[in-house]
Structure 1
Amino acid sequence: MKKVILGFSGGIDSFYTAYLLKEQRFKVFPVYFKVLPDISTEKAEESASILGLGLTVIDLSDEFRKKVINHFIEYYKKGLTPNPCAICNKDIKLKYLYELSKELKADFISTGHYAKVSYFDKWKKNLILRGKDKRKEQSYFLSLVEKFVFQKLLLPLGNFTKEEVVLRAQELGFPFESESQDICFIEGHYVNFLEKFIKPKPGVFVLIDGTPVGKHKGYYKYTVGQRRGLGISYTKPLYVISIDAKRNRVIVGEKKEIQKDIIYVKNINWHLDYEVVKKFDTIQVQIRYRSKPVEVEKIDYLKNGIFCVKLAAKVDAPAPGQVCAFYSNELLLGGGEITTEGEGIWKEVL
């Protein structure tokens, strides 16, 4: 009987994942990664016990604070928009599941992500595909994970919708409500969390030409593309175009000024060699979770790990710091971080 180490939160997704793995005759070892020091493991223990499984709890709260929470805070301090779930998958969840599988000599690792793993003879490796449930599918959050991890990864929920999982898990006796929380370490609004670490400092809203059009109460309270809640009286609707943390300014402008058909992406984690990716007939990018994929016309490598991506259509408000995932239809090709650093380099190249 082959062994699989399952990342187990005790929620409905990991519960049904464990059930499916047992049905497939795997020996399942559910592991709860404790990422917050004061969090209770009671729910996860009860959830595992319903399936006749013992739960292993591993405290990763220090690592989580250093690699995910601190990253989240520092990015907002810099005026960037972080993606903590993608960072957690790369640096915590999938990383430690993989390390644990080596330590325990387990054949596979697994999570409750709504995505698929498939082996491709052409490249002799496992790669990630979009999940069946287009509203819930989570391949985007796996784009930063290193490709060698996929060679041991099982994703049983990839062929299910969320509704199917909820219904079947409840039929099995899952005792809790299906719940969803955007950021696991934040209760309430993220701004309230950030104010524990960033002192609010009033500044100004300015147009692209530097014209002041109002005052803000702290640049970290705003995100690129935001329209509501600016409190600016102007002749036309204004949107956040960018955030200048060093000068404590929020740059605003009209809708057309947040729309881009060129984006810059750095530190791309390609799941296939870039030389292979360049030969794909069709490539799309997804600039945020649940955003519509957009066709790519051209990708140019600049330097310092930065790529210039020319799009076939404009996208609204690509936010520096966010993840840009690359696809070829259903196949996930990798992902990197949206940046403005390429603008100066592109001018040098030209």
Structure 2
Amino acid sequence: MKKRVVLGFSGGVDSAVSAILLKESGYEVHGLYLDTGSAENIENVIKAANKIEMPINIADVKDRLNDLVCKPFAAAYAAGKTPNPCIVCNPEVKFNALLREADRLCCEHIASGHYARAVNGQLFKGQAQNDQSYLLCRIKKEQLVRLILPLGDYNKEEARKIAREHSLDSADKPASMEICFIPAGDHAAYIENLGIVPKPGRIMFEGRQVGEHDGIHKFTIGQRRHANIAAGERIYVSEINAETGDVIMGRLHDLMSNRLYVNEIKYLTNPPEAESRCSVRIRHSKQSYEAKLIPMRADSGIVIFTEPARAATPGQTAAFYDGDRVIGGGLIEKAYKLDREN
């Protein structure tokens, strides 16, 4: 009897190729499309599922997405933080829906088209070119133990090649970098349309005011801004003060941090009981930093970098690794600048 799996299916090249690989491995694959409100997408998804002869169901996740992802995303930006909604959505919306559908259909496994590896209930990096393990660092253990990631040993171009071999319409479509609930990519307008009024304030550089702004939600740490500053070198947003509304500009040195305070840590392995060495990613990129992780409470800790980290940003996620294995991840609450103690 074939093993059965529920695959998160968007109709894009990653999920379509995942379906093909699962079927070639002998699985009975059931697709699940997460409906966030686009009727046009549903038509395309059904067409793509029919092309690969896979049954497809639709789960309405609009309310859950709004409550657990969209509203907190907007509130965090309005508070001067820079959240990553995909890291929240994966465990709370996407894999939650996949598990419910798998239980309903009596399927042993769930699957997604992320470029990472799930092996024996542990999560590992995928191929370096397209590794997406960072986006999965806060999923739940009960989700991970049933998760299959068919693209773990592939890169994007290899996936596209498979899609071409099967004449899939998605084979050469460009990858979307947009947040799914902000299709225009304008997060500031999205926040304002929700009726949230972020704090305006001053733009400061070296203790003096050099301008004004109409909302801290339009800034993020590390962002280059063209301000009226004759500094002789590149200037960046180095700090956002949510209480006063001040946006502090600085030089490259002012972006560097040697410590982080991280909370709401979700561990995919046994939580460390004492100080331990690890590598840390502070955004969705290939760059990682060697560090010590010092646990405090069950879900918080201090990260001390071996070398300073650039543009560590409150609201973003710090993902912890032991080699290729993902230990877990938490939210950056505070980044300590090189020349400051608090």
TM above 0.5, yes or no, is: yes
Query: Please, which of 261, 265, 275 is the counterpart of residue 268 of structure 1?
Result: 265
Query: Please, which of 173, 176, 180 is the counterpart of residue 184 of structure 1?
Result: 180
Q: 1:299 matched to which residue of 2?
A: 293
1:206 aligns with 2:200: no
Structure 1 residue 77: Cα displacement: 0.8
Q: What amino acid does structure 2 have at the position aligned with 1:101? A: A
Q: 1:122 matched to which residue of 2?
A: none
- Check the 8 A contact 2:78/2:198 in 1, yes or no: no
> What value does the CA root-mean-square deviation take over the aligned residues?
2.3
Q: What amino acid does structure 2 have at the position aligned with 1:218? A: G
Q: 2:50 matched to which residue of 1?
A: 49
Structure 1 residue 189: Cα displacement: 2.8
- Check the 8 A contact 1:260/1:318 in 2, yes or no: yes
The separation in 2 between residues aligned to 1:62 and 1:211, in whole angstroms, is 45
For this pair of structures, how many residues does the alignment match?
334
Task: State the TM-score, normalized to the length of structure 1.
Answer: 0.89
Cα displacement string for residues 176-234 of structure 1 (whole angstroms, at most 9, x for unaligned residues): 342322211111332232332344664211246x432222232111100112x342323
- Check the 8 A contact 2:126/2:153 in 1, yes or no: yes
Structure 1 residue 100: Cα displacement: 2.2
The separation in 1 between residues aligned to 2:198 and 2:39, in whole angstroms, is 27
Q: What amino acid does structure 1 have at the position aligned with 2:259? A: I
Query: Please, which of 227, 232, 236 is the counterpart of residue 231 of structure 1?
Result: 227
Structure 1 residue 96: Cα displacement: 1.7
In the TM superposition, 1:85-124 aligns within 5 A as: 85-119=86-120
Q: What amino acid does structure 1 have at the position aligned with 2:126? A: G
Q: What amino acid does structure 2 have at the position aligned with 1:87? A: V
Q: What amino acid does structure 2 have at the position aligned with 1:283? A: C
How has the CA–CA distance of structure 1 residues 25 and 61 changed in structure 2, closer, same or farther, with 3 Å as cutoff?
Answer: same
Q: What amino acid does structure 2 have at the position aligned with 1:288? A: R
Moved over 6 A (4+): none
Q: Which runs of 5+ in 2 are unaligned?
A: none
1:162 aligns with 2:160: no
Q: What amino acid does structure 1 have at the position aligned with 2:283? A: R
- Check the 8 A contact 2:78/2:197 in 1, yes or no: no
Cα displacement string for residues 305-346 of structure 1 (whole angstroms, at most 9, x for unaligned residues): 431111111111100000100001111110000012999xx9
Structure 1 residue 303: Cα displacement: 4.5
The separation in 2 between residues aligned to 1:18 and 1:174, in whole angstroms, is 12
How has the CA–CA distance of structure 1 residues 166 and 234 changed in structure 2, closer, same or farther, with 3 Å as cutoff?
Answer: same
In the TM superposition, 1:1-350 aligns within 5 A as: 1-36=2-37, 38=39, 40-119=41-120, 126-132=121-127, 134-176=128-170, 177-182=172-177, 183-186=179-182, 187-197=184-194, 198-199=196-197, 202-207=200-205, 210-227=207-224, 229-236=225-232, 237-275=234-272, 278=274, 282-296=277-291, 298-303=292-297, 305-340=299-334
The separation in 2 between residues aligned to 1:211 and 1:310, in whole angstroms, is 31
The percentage of aligned residue pairs carrying the same residue is 31
How has the CA–CA distance of structure 1 residues 341 and 290 changed in structure 2, closer, same or farther, with 3 Å as cutoff?
Answer: closer
Structure 1 residue 248: Cα displacement: 1.4
Please give the secondary structure, in 2, of the residue aligned with 1:160.
coil
Task: State the TM-score, normalized to the length of structure 2.
Answer: 0.91
The separation in 1 between residues aligned to 2:229 and 2:306, in whole angstroms, is 34
How has the CA–CA distance of structure 1 residues 163 and 291 changed in structure 2, closer, same or farther, with 3 Å as cutoff?
Answer: closer
The separation in 1 between residues aligned to 2:334 and 2:51, in whole angstroms, is 50
Structure 1 residue 272: Cα displacement: 1.2
